[in-house]
Structure 1
Amino acid sequence: MEYFKSSLKSVLGAPPPESQPSGADTVERLVDRLQSSSLLDDRRDACRALKALSRTYRVEVGAQGMDALRQVLEMDRTDCEIIGLALDTLCNITNPETFDEEVNKHGLKNKIGEQFTEIFIKQLDSVGQILAFLEEFDFRVRWSALKLLTHLLANRPRDIQEIILVSPMGVSKLMDLLSDSREVIRNDALLLLIQLTKGNANIQKIVAFENAFDRIFEVIRQEGGAEGGIVVEDCLLLMLNLLRGNASNQNFFKEGSFIQRLTPMFQLPPETDDSPLSGWSPQKVSNVHCMVKVIRALVAPSGPAQATAACQRAMRACGLLQALCDILMASGVPADVLTETISAVAEVIRGNASNQEFLAGVMAPSTPPRPAIVVLLMSMVNEKQPFLLRCSVLYCFQCFLYKNELGQSQLVQTLLPQGNEAPSLTTGQLLCGGLFSSDSLSNWFSAVALSYALIDNVTQKEQLLRVLLATNIGKPPVTLMQQCVMLLQQGNKTQCKLGLLILLCRWTAQCPTAVKAFLGIDSSVAYLTALLSSQENNDDLQETLLQSMCALLIGLCVYFNDDTVPNYTKEKLCHLIENRIGLERFQDAIGGITRHEVYSRTLKHPQPSAKNPADLLLDHEFCRLLKNLEGIIVKSVLDGSSSHRNNDPISTLTPSESALVAQYKELIREQDVQIQSLNQVNVTLSKEKCDLEAQIHELQATVNHLKDQNLVLRAAQTNFSDEKQMMSTENHIDTTVREDLDKYKVIVKDLQQRLDDSIMKLKEYEHERSNQSKSMLESALKEKMDELEKLQKDQEDLLELLTDQESKIVSYKQKLIALGEKVESDESSGELDTDDQPESSN
Structure 2
Amino acid sequence: MGVSRLMDLLADSREVIRNDGVLLLQQLTKSNAAIQKIVAFENAFERLLDIITEEGNSDGGIVVEDCLLLLQNLLKNNNSNQNFFKEGSYIQRMKPWFEVGDDNCGWSAQKVTNLHLMLQLVRVLVSPTNPPGATSSCQKAMFHCGLLQQLCTILMATVTETINTVSEVIRGCQMNQDYFASVNAPSNPPRPAIVVLLMSMVNERQPFVLRCAVLYCFQCFLYKNQKGQGEIVSTLLPSTIDATGNSVSAGQLLCGGLFSTDSLSNWCAAVALAHALQENATLKEQLLRVQLATSIGNPPVSLLQQCTNILSQGDKIDRRGSKVQTRVGLLMLLCTWLSNCSIAVTHFLHNPANIPFLTGQIAENLGEEEQLVQGLCALLLGISIYYNDNSLENYRKEKLKQLIEKRIGRENFIEKLGFISKHELYSRAAQKPQPSFSSPDHMMFDHEFTKLVKELEGVISKAIYKSSEEDKKEEEVKKTLEQHDNIVTHYKKVIREQDQELEELKQQINILKSQNEQLQATVTQQVSQIQQHKDQYNLLKVQLGKDTQHHNSHGDTLQMNGIQTEEVNKLKEELEEWKTKHELLQGQLREKDSVIEKLKSSQLEMGTEQSSQISKSGGLEHSNELQKELERLRSQIQLQSAEISKLQTENQKLQVLNATADPVLGHSSATAAQNSEWKGRLEQEIKELKSEVKALSEEKASLKEYLDSSSSTVAILQDEKRTG
Q: TM-score range by the shorter chain?
A: 0.5 to 0.7
Find out whether 1:287 has 2:114 as its counterpart. Answer: yes
Q: Point out the more displaced range, 186-195 or 287-296.
A: 186-195
Residue in 2 aligned with 1:500? 330
Q: Give the deviation of 1:582 after TM superposition.
A: 1.0
Residue in 1 aligned with 2:180? 359
Residue in 2 aligned with 1:465? 288
Residue in 1 aligned with 2:268? 445
Alpha-carbon distance between aligned partners in 2 of 1:372 and 1:383, rounded to the nearest angstrom: 19
Residue in 1 aligned with 2:298? 475
**8 Å Cα contact 2:390/2:397 also seen in 1:** yes
Residue in 2 aligned with 1:348? 169
Q: Cα distance 1:226–1:632, how it changes in 2: closer, same or farther (>3 A)?
A: same
Find out whether 1:409 has 2:230 as its counterpart. Answer: yes
The CA deviation string for residues 626-669 of structure 1, in whole angstroms up to 9 with x for no partner, is 1111111111111147969xxxxxxxxxxxxxxxxxxxxxxxxx
> What SS does structure 2 have at the residue aligned with 1:604?
coil
Q: Give the deviation of 1:197 after TM superposition.
A: 1.1
Q: TM-score, normalised by structure 2?
A: 0.63
Q: Give the deviation of 1:431 after TM superposition.
A: 0.3
Residue in 2 aligned with 1:69? none
Find out whether 1:434 has 2:267 as its counterpart. Answer: no
The 5 Å alignment of 1:386-785 reads 386-417=207-238, 418=240, 422-423=244-245, 424-492=247-315, 493-536=323-366, 538-540=367-369, 543-640=370-467
Q: Give the deviation of 1:451 after TM superposition.
A: 0.5
Alpha-carbon distance between aligned partners in 1 of 2:62 and 2:397, rounded to the nearest angstrom: 65
Q: Cα distance 1:640–1:427, how it changes in 2: closer, same or farther (>3 A)?
A: farther
Unaligned runs of 5+ in 2: 316-322, 472-724
**8 Å Cα contact 1:388/1:611 also seen in 2:** no
**8 Å Cα contact 1:380/1:445 also seen in 2:** yes
Q: Cα distance 1:642–1:189, how it changes in 2: closer, same or farther (>3 A)?
A: farther
Q: Cα distance 1:630–1:186, how it changes in 2: closer, same or farther (>3 A)?
A: same
**8 Å Cα contact 1:260/1:318 also seen in 2:** yes
The 5 Å alignment of 1:284-363 reads 284-330=111-157, 333=158, 337=159, 339-363=160-184
The CA deviation string for residues 61-111 of structure 1, in whole angstroms up to 9 with x for no partner, is xxxxxxxxxxxxxxxxxxxxxxxxxxxxxxxxxxxxxxxxxxxxxxxxxxx
Q: What letter corresponds to residue 184 of structure 2 in structure 1?
A: M
Q: Cα distance 1:349–1:411, how it changes in 2: closer, same or farther (>3 A)?
A: same
**8 Å Cα contact 1:570/1:640 also seen in 2:** no
Alpha-carbon distance between aligned partners in 1 of 2:8 and 2:229, rounded to the nearest angstrom: 52
**8 Å Cα contact 1:401/1:452 also seen in 2:** yes
Q: What letter corresponds to residue 277 of structure 1 in structure 2?
A: C
Structure number with greater Rg is 2
> What SS does structure 2 have at the residue aligned with 1:587?
helix
**8 Å Cα contact 2:235/2:241 also seen in 1:** no
Q: What letter corresponds to residue 177 of structure 2 in structure 1?
A: Q
- C-alpha RMSD over aligned residues: 1.5
Q: Give the deviation of 1:176 after TM superposition.
A: 1.4
Q: Point out the more displaced range, 412-421 or 615-624.
A: 412-421
The 5 Å alignment of 1:197-276 reads 197-271=29-103, 276=104
Q: Give the deviation of 1:539 after TM superposition.
A: 2.7
Q: Cα distance 1:421–1:532, how it changes in 2: closer, same or farther (>3 A)?
A: closer
**8 Å Cα contact 1:578/1:641 also seen in 2:** no
Q: Give the deviation of 1:535 after TM superposition.
A: 2.7
Alpha-carbon distance between aligned partners in 2 of 1:251 and 1:506, rounded to the nearest angstrom: 37
Q: Give the deviation of 1:522 after TM superposition.
A: 2.7
**8 Å Cα contact 2:102/2:154 also seen in 1:** no
Count of paired positions: 463
Alpha-carbon distance between aligned partners in 2 of 1:248 and 1:302, rounded to the nearest angstrom: 15
Q: Cα distance 1:576–1:233, how it changes in 2: closer, same or farther (>3 A)?
A: same
Alpha-carbon distance between aligned partners in 1 of 2:241 and 2:162, rounded to the nearest angstrom: 37
Alpha-carbon distance between aligned partners in 1 of 2:224 and 2:400, rounded to the nearest angstrom: 33
Unaligned runs of 5+ in 1: 1-168, 645-842
Q: Give the deviation of 1:416 after TM superposition.
A: 1.1
Q: What letter corresponds to residue 179 of structure 1 in structure 2?
A: A
Among the aligned pairs, what percent are the same residue?
Answer: 59
Q: Cα distance 1:618–1:187, how it changes in 2: closer, same or farther (>3 A)?
A: same
Alpha-carbon distance between aligned partners in 1 of 2:60 and 2:437, rounded to the nearest angstrom: 32
Q: What letter corresponds to residue 303 of structure 2 in structure 1?
A: L
Q: Cα distance 1:365–1:584, how it changes in 2: closer, same or farther (>3 A)?
A: same
Alpha-carbon distance between aligned partners in 2 of 1:324 and 1:183, rounded to the nearest angstrom: 31
Q: TM-score, normalised by structure 1?
A: 0.54
Q: Give the deviation of 1:190 after TM superposition.
A: 1.2
Alpha-carbon distance between aligned partners in 2 of 1:474 and 1:195, rounded to the nearest angstrom: 71
Q: Which runs of 4+ in 1 moved over 2 A?
A: 418-423, 640-644
**8 Å Cα contact 2:271/2:333 also seen in 1:** yes
> What SS does structure 2 have at the residue aligned with 1:495?
helix
**8 Å Cα contact 1:242/1:249 also seen in 2:** yes
Q: Cα distance 1:244–1:522, how it changes in 2: closer, same or farther (>3 A)?
A: same
Alpha-carbon distance between aligned partners in 2 of 1:604 and 1:256, rounded to the nearest angstrom: 32
The CA deviation string for residues 767-789 of structure 1, in whole angstroms up to 9 with x for no partner, is xxxxxxxxxxxxxxxxxxxxxxx
Q: Cα distance 1:509–1:420, how it changes in 2: closer, same or farther (>3 A)?
A: closer
**8 Å Cα contact 1:197/1:203 also seen in 2:** yes
